[in-house]
């Protein structure tokens, strides 16, 4: 079983993840200029997920991609696997020109 992170550790990790916030996992929304841009970002996220064998909850709405990372085998808590995945996705998003809007992630 993966080790769940403490709230203090999550907040420290978020210092290196400005695109993300902690809300029932690590969550964000990326806005792209077009729907095609959102699909390109989704494809990049899919490649990262397969490489890391760690898959996010993902929802696509026209030019926005909603993402949530938790580690299911850690009881749905945040682990270092989520942090590593979020960092990789942030890099891919920057390459596609996507803009992070974590505040647009729906409240739980």
Q: What is the pLDDT along the chain (108 residues), one digit of tens a residue?
A: 468 999 999 999 999 999 999 999 999 999 999 999 999 999 999 999 999 999 999 999 999 999 999 998 888 899 999 999 999 999 999 999 999 999 999 987
Alpha helices in 34-79 (DSSP H): 35-52
- Where residue 73 sits, what CATH number does that domain have? 3.30.1360.20
- Tell me how many domains the chain contains: 1
Residue 49 and residue 58 in contact, taking contact as beta carbons nearer than 8 Å: no
Containing structural domain, residue 14: 7-104
Domain for residue 2, yes or no? no
Domain for residue 99, yes or no? yes
How many Cα neighbours within 13 Å face the side chain of 104?
A: 14
Answer yes or no: pTM beyond 0.85. Answer: yes
Domain for residue 1, yes or no? no
User: ∠ at Cα 105 (102, 108), nearest 5°?
Assistant: 130
């Amino acid at each position: 079983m993966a080790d769940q992170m403490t709230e203090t550790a999550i907040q420290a990790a978020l210092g290196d993840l400005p695109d993300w916030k902690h809300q029932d996992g690590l969550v964000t929304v990326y806005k792209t200029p077009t729907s095609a841009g959102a699909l390109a970002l989704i494809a990049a996220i899919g490649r990262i997920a397969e490489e890391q064998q760690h898959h996010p909850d993902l929802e696509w709405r026209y030019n926005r991609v909603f993402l949530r990372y938790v580690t299911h085998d850690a009881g749905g808590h945040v682990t270092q696997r989520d942090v590593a995945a979020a960092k990789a996705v942030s890099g891919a998003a920057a390459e596609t020109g996507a803009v992070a809007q974590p505040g647009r992630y729906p409240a739980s």
